Amino acid sequence: MEEIIKTSTLDLAQFIELLAAIIIFYSSGKAVFKYIKDNISRSAGFLPNIEIRLNLGKSLAIALELLLGADILKTAIAPSWDEIGKLAAIAALRTALNYFLERDLKNYENKNDPVFQNPNK
């Protein structure tokens, strides 16, 4: 029974990592496509459409959360101190990345800041 749980947990962690990779791949491709389209269609201005950056940032934040969850699942079953230490380092890095990413997203979503106003609206 213990082996079934361990195998199921590891399989679930790999599936969650795959979902995170798909989210990153899809949202990055979508952002590049929209960025190129935006630059071709716009004759003036140097700032890209802020919605592109917001959508990419939100997708990356979700992917980071999924990857952290997958790492927790991997070390949930009989972890060694070495695995716990690695998880702590990975969790600290991903949490810090997510914190700064979300802080940037909140700053960009501030509708009162004229620098970040979308000129297309």
Contact 62, 23 (CB under 8 A): yes
pLDDT for the residue 121: 44
Return mean pLDDT, the chain.
Answer: 82
Looking at the predicted structure, is the pLDDT value of residue 39 above 60?
yes
Greater confidence (27 vs 1) lies with: 27
CB count within 10 Å of CB 13 equals 19
Q: What are the tokens at 8?
A: 């199921």
Is the pTM for the entire model greater than 0.75?
no
In whole angstroms, give the CA distance from residue 59 to residue 74: 23
What would the pLDDT profile of 44-63 be if each residue is shown by its tens digit? 556 667 788 888 888 998 99
Is the per-residue pLDDT at 92 higher than 70?
Answer: yes
**pLDDT over threshold 50, residue 65:** yes
For residue 76, CA distances in Å to 6, 12, 17, 34, 117 come to 9, 12, 16, 40, 45
Average pLDDT over residues 10-26: 96
Across residues 3-13, what is the average pLDDT?
A: 89
